Amino acid sequence: MLKIESRDISYEGCKTPSEKRKIEHFSAYELCKDMLFSYFGIENPVFEKTPNGKPFIDNGIAFFSISHTKNRVYCAVSDKNIGIDAEFLSGRCDEKIQKFANRFFAEKEIEFIEKEGFSEKAFFEIWTKKEAYIKLKDLTLADIKKIDTAKLHIRTYTDGKYTVSIAEE
């Protein structure tokens, strides 16, 4: 069983990037709490973190993953280990995408992005898969170059102006 939900958030009154991150963090955990209650009947979950920073609840029946990006938070809950990542699509397409891909992506991933004209959408399709897999396996960003998404089955979709990827065991 896998359920994914999102909520739009407002940064009204926020003056700094730090304040915005706090709103995103709080909103993501509120969505997670609501989903854990709705789908698993878990009230007042106690959130913990692994040494790598992956949040979890120690109950053996429910797994979750959260992601937040510009004006939206996502949460996935499941009875199996999962990872979710989302990125906002601003529509840019520039040489920074190519440089970043060359630095962190495998050869087939670069070929995919190149075929798509180094578009932001193609870039984030790969990037969100990598981050979702990192969350699934409790890895760190230092492992990102080692992950070849061409060899993994990770679902990706576009939700309006957001690219979302879900990795599950």
Q: How confident is the model at residue 95 (pLDDT cuts 50, 70, 90)?
A: confident
- Choose one of 71, 86, 101: the last residue of a domain: 86
Domain of 31 in residue numbering reads as 2-86
Query: Can you give the CATH number for the domain in which 21 is found?
Result: 3.90.470.20
Cα 32 to Cα 29, 36, 79, 111, 145: the distances in Å are 5, 6, 14, 36, 29
Residues 65 and 14 in one domain: yes
Q: What is the pTM of this model?
A: 0.90
Buried b (16+ CB within 10 A) or exposed e, 56-85: bbeeeebbbbbbbbeebbbbbbbeebbbbb
* Token digits of residue 169: 């065991």
| Contacts for 91-96: CB closer than 8 Å, 24+ residues apart | 91/120, 92/120, 93/117, 93/118, 93/119, 93/120, 94/118
**Residue 104's pLDDT is what?**
86
Per DSSP, 64 falls in state E
**Residue 8's pLDDT is what?**
94
Domain count, the chain: 2
Residues 148 and 78 in one domain: no
Residue 165 lies inside a defined structural domain of this protein: no
Which residue type sits at 28? Answer: A
Using one digit for the tens of pLDDT, what is the confidence trace for 29-76?
999 999 999 999 999 999 999 999 899 998 879 999 999 998 999 999
How many Cβ atoms from other residues are within 10 Å of residue 149's Cβ? 23
Residues 59 and 8 in one domain: yes
Residues 68 and 119 in one domain: no
**Residue 93's pLDDT is what?**
66
Residue 31 lies inside a defined structural domain of this protein: yes
* CB neighbour list of residue 22: distance below 8 Å, 6 or more residues apart: none
- Choose one of 40, 59, 86: the last residue of a domain: 86
Residues 80 and 122 in one domain: no
Residue 107 lies inside a defined structural domain of this protein: yes
Residues 58 and 124 in one domain: no
- Choose one of 65, 86, 107: the last residue of a domain: 86
Residues 8 and 81 in one domain: yes
